[in-house]
């Protein structure tokens, strides 16, 4: 039978959307190229560095050489698996700041201010850390906190307070600014991805069909989307829809699919021999991300995870997790954090910290020899903008990704502030008994020029790409979708994923991506109403 809705992409937003549409009684077909998420590397939180570096679960994208980062090409992991990037990410749960969403609204995204999105953040979660009018208690997504048994976690929070910032007991609640416990999508020792929270309940409804295939393009009849062209088992097919098609394929693959379907910058499409259906220059533009560096220190006490960073130690951690779903393997080890302003002139936090009781790269390949710890730190609202572009009209070809990192001069000023403020935090009494020599960037790196050279060589993506199908007013020539998430210039087609973000939000993007899927469902079902102010 022809489904009511066809969704492309079983990621954070796509799973939430599929759940809500089937819950409302609709038949849905969900197209996903990736396979099962039933892997210890995905389900075990402590193994988070593995799936994003495995071709089985990751699309394997990378950027063009980034000229402001010394010509380096940076990896751009995106989930190629049920659950999408929620199955390969660091499981950190950050809603964003209320002023992020008010900025969206003020830039033409009517109905996407904080008062509008808060009900969806509450609807999507079950919060396990107390009671609060700002938090949800009955949603599919379990949100928890680590036990912070390692003394370094609380020492970092205390150091932030000693350096002059407040403590926040819930950065996802009323007050984001400050240092406090970090939250995660982990439940009973397992990764609680969008596949766990939304996809499997939707499949149990009997109204969802998950189709493993490569989406090639959207097909139109009289300017209305009526089918998705797919390839599976070497054959090209069409999956028709009774009502609408929704693209939830990521901020990399969604603009690629739009352009392959004739929606995008007209000149660019014509260069690749693609008929222009809707000339939308915003498709694939406005690409944003968070960059970060790792500030690393030697530890004077042997309390870090380095104790377990060997074959025997990893084996013990893995066995305990397999048998009981407890121990170090049951945590992503991001259990304390901070959100601060770089100066009093900034009206809300523009720097984020993830603290980790180990000195190691995110990919797990370059552990520092000996005990150490680190803070991941970076600016939240870079002014640099990049693009996603086609390299050909071949749907199998990876797109060209150019973030244009650090192309705005303010980015350098903000990053220097990150490094200097981090040193102030680690120089506080709370860290004195643990703090050894600064490993990276190293105490000798002090001047603007020396710090810039360090950033140029060592800054890494935090893996938060977004913005490539921007949400805005229907008459905005740079917008791609209107406030109802309908693609401007065609009918029967919407976008619901991090592509729509007009500007990147504070912190990790999994939570606002899931919120987008939740809210998209109400727009599609005609249920959205502006909510009362809070």
CA distances from residue 316 to 80, 151, 190, 307 in whole angstroms, order as listed: 29, 21, 17, 11
- Degrees to nearest 5, angle at CA 145 with 432 and 11: 120
Nearest to 343 by CA among 402, 397, 411, 414: 414
Q: Distance (Å, rounded) from C-alpha 230 to C-alpha 105?
A: 35
Residue 464 known to be catalytic: yes
Q: SS3 for 115?
A: helix
Q: What is the largest CA-CA distance in the chain?
A: 70
Residue 400 Cα to chain centre, angstroms: 20
| CB within 8 Å of 158: residues ≥ 6 apart | 428, 430
Q: Distance (Å, rounded) from C-alpha 208 to C-alpha 212?
A: 13
E strands within 322-386?
336-340, 351-356, 372-379
Q: Catalytic pick from 290, 376, 402, 464?
A: 464
Q: Positive or negative CA dihedral for 521, 527, 529, 531?
A: negative
- Checking DSSP bridges between strand 5-8 and strand 244-247, what pairing results, if any? parallel
> Containing H/E element for 495?
strand 493-495
Enumerate the active-site residues: 464
């Amino acid at each position: 039978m022809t489904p009511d809705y066809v969704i492309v992409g079983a990621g954070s937003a796509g799973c939430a959307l599929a759940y809500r549409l089937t819950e409302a009684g609709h038949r849905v077909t969900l197209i996903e190229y990736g396979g099962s998420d039933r892997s210890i590397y995905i389900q075990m939180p402590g193994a988070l560095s593995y799936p994003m570096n495995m071709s089985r679960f990751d699309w394997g994208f990378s950027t063009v050489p980034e000229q402001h980062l010394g010509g380096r090409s940076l990896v751009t992991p995106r989930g190629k698996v049920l659950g999408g990037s929620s199955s390969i990410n660091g499981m950190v749960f950050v809603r964003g700041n209320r002023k992020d969403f008010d900025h969206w609204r003020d830039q033409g995204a009517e109905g996407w201010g904080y008062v509008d999105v808060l009900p969806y953040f509450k609807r999507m979660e079950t919060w396990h850390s107390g009671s609060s009018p700002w938090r949800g208690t009955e949603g599919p997504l379990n949100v928890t906190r680590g036990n912070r048994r390692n003394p370094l976690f609380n020492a970092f929070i205390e150091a932030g307070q000693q350096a002059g910032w407040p403590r926040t007991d819930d950065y996802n609640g009323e007050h984001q600014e400050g240092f406090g416990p970090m939250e995660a999508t982990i439940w009973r020792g397992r990764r609680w991805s969008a596949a766990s929270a939304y996809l499997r309940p939707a499949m149990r409804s009997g109204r969802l069909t998950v189709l493993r295939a490569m989406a090639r393009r959207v097909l139109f009849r009289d300017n209305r989307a009526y089918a998705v062209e797919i390839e599976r088992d070497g054959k090209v097919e069409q999956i028709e829809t009774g009502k609408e098609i929704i693209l939830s394929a990521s901020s990399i693959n969604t603009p690629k699919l739009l352009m392959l379907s004739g929606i995008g910058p007209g000149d660019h499409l014509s260069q690749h021999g693609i008929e222009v259906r809707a000339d939308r220059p915003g498709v694939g533009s406005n690409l944003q991300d968070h960059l970060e560096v790792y500030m690393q220190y030697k530890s004077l006490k042997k309390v870090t995870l380095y104790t377990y960073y060997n074959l025997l130690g990893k084996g013990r951690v893995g066995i305990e997790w397999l048998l009981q779903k407890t121990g170090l393997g049951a945590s992503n080890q991001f259990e304390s954090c901070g959100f601060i302003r770089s100066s009093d002139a900034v009206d809300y936090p523009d720097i984020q910290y993830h603290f980790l009781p180990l000195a190691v790269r995110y990919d797990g390949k370059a552990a520092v020899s000996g005990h150490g710890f680190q803070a991941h730190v970076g600016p939240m609202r870079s002014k640099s903008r990049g693009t996603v572009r086609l390299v050909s009209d071949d749907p199998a070809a990876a797109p060209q990704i150019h973030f244009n990192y650090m192309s705005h001069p303010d980015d350098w000023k903000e990053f220097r502030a990150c490094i200097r403020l981090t040193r102030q935090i680690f120089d506080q009494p709370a860290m004195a008994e643990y703090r050894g020599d600064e490993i990276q960037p190293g105490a000798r790196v002090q001047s603007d020029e020396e710090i810039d050279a360090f950033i140029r060589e060592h800054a890494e993506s935090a893996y938060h790409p977004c913005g490539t199908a921007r949400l805005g007013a229907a008459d905005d020539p740079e917008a791609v979708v209107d406030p109802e998430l309908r693609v401007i210039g065609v009918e029967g087609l919407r976008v619901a994923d991090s592509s729509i973000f007009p500007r990147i939000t504070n912190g990790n993007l999994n939570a606002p991506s899931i919120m987008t899927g939740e809210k998209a469902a109400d727009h599609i079902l005609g249920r959205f109403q502006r909510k009362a102010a809070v």
